[in-house]
Structure 1
Amino acid sequence: MSALPPRATIGILGGGQLGRMLAMAAASLGYRTHIFAPDPDPVAADVSAALTRADYTNRRALARFARSVDVVTFEFENVPAEAVLFLAARVPVRPGVRALEVAQDRLVEKRFVEGLGGTPAPYAPVETLEDLETALETLGTPAILKTRRLGYDGKGQVRIDNRAAAREAFAVLGGQGLLLEAFVPFRSEFSILLARGLDGSEALYPPIANRHEGGILALSLAPAPGLEPAHVAAATALAVRIADALAYVGVLACEFFALADGPRFNEMAPRVHNSGHWTIEGAETSQFAQHIRAVAGLPLGSPALTGARARMRNILGAEVHRAHALLADPTARLHLYGKAEAAPGRKMGHVTHVDHFPVGADLLD
């Protein structure tokens, strides 16, 4: 399998900040990018050579898009699998549709990971209110009721603290296609980020500690402190098995809960991931450059850190209006995504520090 030549075009499904940073990484390697997204103002298009603004169900637009690109990838996992299958019949799609199908359904994902020897939090599928009441008897409270599909950044899930709250939680999430997950007493959350090349080669970044606020990632620190080496090894081995089982090409993120007796698998993201943004300055090869290398058939780069540790903080909502003040610290590396509306909790950018951190700040505060 030969690598894409310079000036080849990489198609990206999705027009958000991940697509934006992928397009920037592609340009540095001599590639053009073509964004396909339904959004009225996709920020990825600001830095891309071409844009198709159309719905993912528009087959005529998809066919034109396929004819204009040499390979297709995606920046988020909620692209309809049918659209990806349609494209895959016409142009290489990396990673493949199987990774998308697994990641799009929490129940399928958990069973897939269990089949590879992973251990998720205890769970039960829920289709009816009676299913939910039975699951609560088994799993207890507190528990998290989640939609099986389309959940991200804390959306599509409700915490149930007592049995009396079951009916309301079920109604809030619309009933059917749900999953109840037991709350596990985790010490911390961490992610394993890896890249897998077209030739099956793999590059692993150090484990990343994550702190969420309101279901949204707030902070990441690499390498993650305080993890048992054996637990890191187990989580890393599982992430590699997942990538290999999917014949994966590109960057894959797997999130875990750290418990006293070992890691519990939380979820996977078949794409570049928010917890890997620190790699732009903090690693020899950023996750975005790594993903482009993989889907283009190039050799993977080194995932080694450029310093002893790196810290990334998301800039959310109205914080963006004060973001330029962060540059008073000459060690701050600021990335703003060009989004017009600073809605509460919306990811507007991030700031990274490598080795040098704000005075008085806890690394994960």
Structure 2
Amino acid sequence: MREFGYHRATDPSDAVAVLGAHPDARFLGGGTNLVDLVKAGVERPTMLVDVSRLPLDRIEVTPDGGLHIGAAIVNSDLAAHPEVRRRYPALAQAVLAGASGQLRNMATVGGNLLQRTRCAYFNDITTPCNKRVPGSGCPAIEGDHHNHAILGASESCAAVHPSDLTVALTAFDAVVSYQTSQGPGELPFTEFYLPVRDTPHRETALPPGALVTGVTLPPAPLAAHSRFRKVRERASYAFAIGSVVAALDVQDHVVRDVRLAFGAVASRPWHARKAERQLAGAPAEPASFAAAADAELAAARPLPHNGYKVTLMRNLVVAVLTEITEEASR
């Protein structure tokens, strides 16, 4: 057992200051990911800074009609909030699909954004892993990679981001708020997660020592008719092998606006912008949906044992968009 210190932060500035004084410290929210990593020896903090009781546990409607979600909100409360269910139902659906009830009662929004990959090689300290030990190699590329990335991977890493919640945040252009010793800051989701390239250990663009304080969703009227769909290897309590968040605005059988994001196919939630552009102005029908999915997945570079994800994601896009279209026409 490795000893570590513990500090319960009184406010965001206090949390950031303590972390700055202890470079090997980690913020502790619900601990549903961090505690497992500490047990496995992947993380070895000298200090845990408890941020779970900070006053960051509110969900508020913004003046322009969006939502601000505090980082300390637990996932169960997020999924149950009436404004989340009314304005961004795909977000609530993604949270409810994400874990067991016990974990949702503990896990926080801030921690969900920053959770680490579930790649078996990353979580096994006896194996090489560029994400854990830069320059050591990526055995997944030649080894077990059936649930690894088909988009945006590199020779350095093929792991996928495990979060369901962040797929919805990606689709609706969320903005992350954070606090550092220099003051508050913001990052749009388009910049929050870094591409893999040859530095897979650098996962986000957060400044060193930054504390995530919340997420803001801009107003998106079409999000009220959004949907999340997840495919997994067992019926419940499993990470995705592929997921989709979709929202459509259809008028006279023509797509006026669309939001589309994929999960479990890349090192970060994947905003399907090529598919969105192809669908804008297209007929709202399965053939258009399939063509848009093909346009997005043309960039896929599957490994020998995960090529099934290309077909899976194509079929998932068509199925979800078709369901939304049929539901809107009733």
TM-score (norm 2): 0.26
Which structure has more relative contact order (CA 8 Å, sep 6+)? It is 2
Q: Which has the higher strand share?
A: 1
